[in-house]
Homo-oligomer: A and B are copies of this chain.
Amino acid sequence: MEQLSQRERDVLQSLIQIHIATAAPVSSRAICKKYLSELSPATVRNTMMDLEERGFLDQPHTSAGREPTDKGYRYYVDSLMKKEALSSEEKRLLRRRFRSYFKDRDAEYAFNEISRTIAQLSHQLGVVLSPRFEEGILQKLELIPLNRSRVLVIITVTSGLVKTITVEIDRPSRSSTGRRKVLISRKKLREACQLFNERLAGLSIKEIRRSIQQRLRYSTQTTPELFSFFIKQANSIFRFDSPRDLFVEGRTNIMLQPEFRDRQRLAELMEFLDEQDRVISLLNQQAGKQGVVVTIGSENAFSQMQVCSLVTSSYNIGDLSGTVGMIGPTRMRYSKYVSLLEYTAKLMSELLSETPLT
């Protein structure tokens, strides 16, 4: 961490605070007027020149004021910023809302609403990545016959998460000889189910997908069709990473931000946000880190995101974790959003452990 003198710190902090509010280059005079009235503009100017030389500030052109660089923001976030705690009213609002999102509704609905709420409160993009079910441990697997050829698979994972999927066991049979009988009897299904549980319970979903073939080999194959079906279809049955697990809301908010006056740039960002895989990988890079993580502008791996900052925090359900975050232009109220996400993540962890998900 580079050392800055107290004066430099004062100037940098004042400049950033003004810049966040005005979205324009900040002049020495503006700083003196608003924050450092005991100094003259000329003095502040000298400090600004130093800060520019060391890469904390940038000047769009001679005779313009200065703007913070990503490095400047980094220093601000790490060493200067005072977190603005949420008011108890805001906290109460969030808690009440979140509780209602989880009440009697499915997880998708809740996550979607949460990202909307973050977007609404921050006037930026709200993002939620649902927990990585892949890492959940299989607790119980059940097979329920639905009709002649379809079976409902219920997968219960530690932390009380349940996921259901219906599968078609029928193979395309072209012989249409009258009424066909049930492919797999209830009894056989029960037996198979028991065996599955013996062999697979206690493993993570990811592990199961990887090794199901080995683990189901050498079974007393009462129903070979069923087993080979499961092995073949493992990737779809034990798939928990559908693109629908990402929730991005509030695109409208950032469209009107001055940094997106350039439509081309806006379009690039939006295109990026529509590619769910990439956004997921962006968020996964933050996964597991403790507390609130701020990634500023060019610190982001993706070029489309380099005008933006990302503020994230992880939340937990039992041993699983997901990510909640916020995206906006690098010029943003870090001091507020850090608190917002800290509290949001805490709230989600809390409510998710109270209310089991569907």
Chain A contacts to B: CB under 8 angstroms: 104-106, 108-109, 112, 142, 144, 146, 150, 152, 154, 156, 162, 164-166, 168, 233, 236, 242-244, 249-252, 255-256, 261, 263-264, 266-267, 270-271, 274, 356, 358
Contact = CB atoms under 8 A, between A and B. Distances in A.
A150 B244 contact: no
A355 to B, nearest CB: 8
18 contacts: A104-B236, A105-B236, A106-B165, A106-B242, A144-B154, A146-B154, A150-B356, A152-B154, A152-B162, A152-B164, A166-B358, A244-B244, A249-B274, A251-B270, A252-B267, A252-B274, A255-B270, A256-B267
A112 B243 contact: yes
Given A152-B164, A154-B152, A256-B263, A242 B109 contact: yes
A162 B165 CA distance: 10
A358 B270 contact: no
Contacts of A164: 152, 164
A156 B165 contact: no
Contact of A255 (B104, B256, B266): B266
A110 to B, nearest CB: 11
B152 A244 contact: no
A270 B242 contact: no
| Ranked 3 nearest A-B pairs via Cβ | A104-B236, A164-B164, A252-B271
A156 B146 CA distance: 9
A356 B168 contact: yes
Contacts of A274: 249-252
Contacts of A165: 106, 358
A175 B179 CA distance: 54
A270 B243 contact: no
Contacts of A236: 104-105
Nearest to A261: B263
A91 B183 CA distance: 35
Contacts of A252: 267, 270-271, 274
